[in-house]
Structure 1
Amino acid sequence: MSDALPEPDRVFGAPHPRDTPRLIGQGAAEQSFLEAFNTGRLHHGWLMIGPRGTGKATLAYRIARFLLSQPLQSDGGMFGAPEKPTSLDTDPKHPTARRISARAEPSLFVLRRGGAGSTDSDRQKNLEAGKFAADIRVDDVRKLNDFFNFSSAEGGRRVVIVDAADEMNVQAANALLKRLEEPPERATLLLISHQHSRLLPTIRSRCRELRISPLSEADMAEALRQALPETELNQAALAALTSGSVGEAIRMTNLSGLAIYGELVGLLASLPRMDRARALRLADAAAQRGAEDKLDMLVDLIALALARLARAGTLGTTPYPEAAQGEAEMIARLSPNPRQARRWAEVAQEVDAKLRHGRAVNLDPAALILDTLRHISQAAS
């Protein structure tokens, strides 16, 4: 694959997981895999589960570099058995590491969404334009046949990374299941999953789980310094809004998410008589041509604000630290008790349904956002 092709698993402005030098805050998962390798109990299928943006793909590429750079196990002959590795670290100058970084490693296959379209030519054209299919399709999975047939001549290990397994449609999932049921010799399949409950139970049962935890505030700060070394960040606010997901924090930083959330908090603070001029500015900004990512961000932040309202009223506390100036005062006024919290939880469900329907039928984004904000305003009244 050409290095110039866009990738659906890349967060704009941050290193791709294969190029991330260190995995921060996931030592337990690393040690679990390393123990299985060193004790000869290496399972052929691994399901890496946890919130989006917490390092699952980074760990998958670390494992791929590690496995493909390790000699095949043997008794060592007259020189004795090889020393067991103590970490998953791979020298970045190792030929395998260089090939993986260049997307030129023949023993690694990355299964992910391809270009949108119904024909091969349309899919290739859309892939080059960065227009990706909504799911991983059975034709994508069938490419594994060529990969395994071609790489079997090498006689070594083969690694497949599925990013993300949640994105497979039913036919693709069933095709991958056959591979998990009858894995090729020396093949390891690494399935990344943000919502593993959506996977087929039979896929989950044929994999060993590696749980990836949300990052602590200290680990997240370190991971953000690694990913965005030259960017000034409000780490406390990012941690509050992203629940320990460094990937989401990077996305929020690149799309000015904290500024958008600040505008949303200011708007909610004007309830029950919503500042209409401010609402219009927020809707218009998200509806501009080429602003689809910011629209997605605004939709996510509306859901997040409503969830924080509901949670605060239920617990009887206001969020600390604030994710935006005036947030604590706004939440204390709008959600002072569990009864109000239950109403905000209901509003969150209503808004989610409204937004999903509106986007499914391609409603005008500005009109959809204004209608959503009007619904929230009526609930506050």
Structure 2
Amino acid sequence: MSEDVAGLLDGAQPPARNTNLFGHQAAEEFLARAYRSGKAHHAILIEGPEGIGKATLAFRFANHVLSHPDPAAAPPYLTEPDPDSAVSRQIASGASHNLLHLSRPVDDKTGRVKSAITVDEVRRAGHFFSQTSGTGSWRIVIIDPADDLNRNAANAILKILEEPPKQAMFLVLSHAPGKLLPTIRSRCQPLRLSPLNDRDLTQALGALGLALDGGKTEEMVLSMSKGSVAQALKLLNYGGTEIIAAFDEILSSEGPKARKAMHRLADVLSGKDSEVIFGFFMQHLSDHLVARARAAALAGDIATADRQAKLVTDINEKITVSQAYNLDRKQTILSILEAARA
């Protein structure tokens, strides 16, 4: 399968081809030492917020392992991927017989990325392990992210983790490990990655050709992205800064002005190819309501805190129902905005 990743953000580099990694030197050193010791765990849970480099680290480590199949002879640090090496070329093109990348598949009927990693995808892992490695090397599966496994797929992965094949390695990525099956978590060694600091985030964006201007835009991007390259790309390349400004206008306006602003925002969020920015807005809204609930609780206003917390749940239910029954998204968004203003 080609690593022209379905759903890849505009401006992002496919992790399988990305030779740049910023801010995770300690994790790199840990993986290199563990592998070289010959005692590396067969399943490593790489966890942390979305867009901070988990997939890039996983592919970087996979490249290291496949380039140095004998742990004892491997260097004590993760080697830089060599784009001209056979291993790197195979990984970048999705043609490696020793590496399988499991992610949400594209629906052949709609052309859109499915909402979950299905059990059919996990069956590919079973077939992958049943084949003899052409080089006698490691067989590595990257699950990206495991949060997207539906229940049947999660149970199927669990069965493989319980009795892993010889020289098999799983790199399990998760944005929210608390949502994974406890039995999956218990069979993995956790490796927590932290959000990028401002310097590393700026360098990562620079490597993608996005130079921050040093003014208010840079200040906002660094503040709102919370150390995530993915969030920064949504702010810079998907109009995220304008979406936040529009939402702030709705909260500060009254009467016809507020309703007009609500309709403008709803039109944008319900337009064609709006999935990325819609998801960005829903996360921003959730964070906003949680912050309001926390502030109310700290001020001793428990009733308001409970109301704001319940609002988050109610809004998530509205979205779930809207998607399940294919309801008009604009009307759903208007309803959500009205509730958020209350």
* Matching of residue 104 in structure 1 with residue 95 in structure 2: yes
* Matching of residue 243 in structure 1 with residue 234 in structure 2: no
From the superposition, tell whether residues 272 and 215 of structure 1 become closer, same or farther in structure 2 (CA, over 3 Å): farther
Amino acid at match of 1:7: A
Following the alignment from structure 1 to structure 2, what is the Cα–Cα distance between the partners of residues 201 and 302?
29
Assess if the C-alpha contact under 8 Å between 1:313 and 1:341 holds in 2.
yes
Following the alignment from structure 2 to structure 1, what is the Cα–Cα distance between the partners of residues 146 and 239?
29
Amino acid at match of 2:321: H
Worse overlay, 303-312 or 106-115: 303-312
Deviation of 1:181 after TM superposition, in Å, equals: 1.8
Where 1:209 maps in the other structure, the secondary structure is: strand
Deviation of 1:163 after TM superposition, in Å, equals: 0.8
Amino acid at match of 1:374: E
Following the alignment from structure 2 to structure 1, what is the Cα–Cα distance between the partners of residues 300 and 224?
22
Deviation of 1:68 after TM superposition, in Å, equals: 0.4
Where 1:47 maps in the other structure, the secondary structure is: strand
Deviations 1:229-262 (A, max 9, x none): 3575823212322322111221232210001101
Assess if the C-alpha contact under 8 Å between 2:62 and 2:140 holds in 1.
yes
Deviations 1:103-143 (A, max 9, x none): 22211111122233xxxxxx4x55xx3x1222122221111
Deviation of 1:216 after TM superposition, in Å, equals: 1.5
Following the alignment from structure 2 to structure 1, what is the Cα–Cα distance between the partners of residues 121 and 39?
29
Deviations 1:161-206 (A, max 9, x none): 1111111122222221222122222121111111112222221111
* Matching of residue 354 in structure 1 with residue 337 in structure 2: no
Following the alignment from structure 2 to structure 1, what is the Cα–Cα distance between the partners of residues 96 and 83?
14
Following the alignment from structure 1 to structure 2, what is the Cα–Cα distance between the partners of residues 297 and 167?
17
1:77 counterpart residue number: none
Assess if the C-alpha contact under 8 Å between 2:36 and 2:74 holds in 1.
no
In structure 1, the gaps of 5 or more residues are 75-81, 117-122, 316-336
2:175 counterpart residue number: 194
Assess if the C-alpha contact under 8 Å between 1:221 and 1:235 holds in 2.
no
* Matching of residue 371 in structure 1 with residue 332 in structure 2: no
From the superposition, tell whether residues 71 and 281 of structure 1 become closer, same or farther in structure 2 (CA, over 3 Å): closer
Deviation of 1:6 after TM superposition, in Å, equals: 4.9
Deviation of 1:72 after TM superposition, in Å, equals: 1.7
**What is the percent sequence identity of the aligned residues?**
35
- Alignment match of 1:52 (pick from 40, 44, 50): 50
Amino acid at match of 1:350: D
Where 1:154 maps in the other structure, the secondary structure is: coil
In structure 2, the gaps of 5 or more residues are none
From the superposition, tell whether residues 272 and 98 of structure 1 become closer, same or farther in structure 2 (CA, over 3 Å): same
Where 2:131 maps in the other structure, the secondary structure is: helix
**Over aligned residue pairs, what C-alpha RMSD do you find?**
2.5
Deviation of 1:84 after TM superposition, in Å, equals: 3.3
Following the alignment from structure 1 to structure 2, what is the Cα–Cα distance between the partners of residues 108 and 192?
15
Following the alignment from structure 1 to structure 2, what is the Cα–Cα distance between the partners of residues 23 and 253?
20
Amino acid at match of 1:361: Y
2:148 counterpart residue number: 167
- Alignment match of 1:145 (pick from 126, 130, 139): 126
Assess if the C-alpha contact under 8 Å between 1:14 and 1:228 holds in 2.
no
Assess if the C-alpha contact under 8 Å between 1:311 and 1:341 holds in 2.
no
* Matching of residue 93 in structure 1 with residue 79 in structure 2: no
* Matching of residue 284 in structure 1 with residue 284 in structure 2: no
Deviation of 1:314 after TM superposition, in Å, equals: 5.4
* Matching of residue 216 in structure 1 with residue 197 in structure 2: yes
Following the alignment from structure 1 to structure 2, what is the Cα–Cα distance between the partners of residues 153 and 58?
25
Where 1:18 maps in the other structure, the secondary structure is: coil
Following the alignment from structure 1 to structure 2, what is the Cα–Cα distance between the partners of residues 54 and 83?
26
From the superposition, tell whether residues 272 and 159 of structure 1 become closer, same or farther in structure 2 (CA, over 3 Å): same
Assess if the C-alpha contact under 8 Å between 2:48 and 2:176 holds in 1.
yes
1:6-155 → structure 2 map (5 Å cutoff):
6-8=5-7, 10-73=8-71, 82=73, 84-116=75-107, 123=108, 126=110, 129=111, 131-155=112-136
* Matching of residue 259 in structure 1 with residue 242 in structure 2: yes
Deviation of 1:73 after TM superposition, in Å, equals: 4.3
Following the alignment from structure 1 to structure 2, what is the Cα–Cα distance between the partners of residues 108 and 185?
15
Following the alignment from structure 2 to structure 1, what is the Cα–Cα distance between the partners of residues 161 and 113?
26
Where 2:16 maps in the other structure, the secondary structure is: helix
Deviation of 1:36 after TM superposition, in Å, equals: 0.8
Deviations 1:30-88 (A, max 9, x none): 111111112221111111111111111011000011000004246xxxxxxx4733334
Following the alignment from structure 1 to structure 2, what is the Cα–Cα distance between the partners of residues 303 and 281?
20
Following the alignment from structure 2 to structure 1, what is the Cα–Cα distance between the partners of residues 333 and 146?
31
Worse overlay, 342-351 or 237-246: 342-351
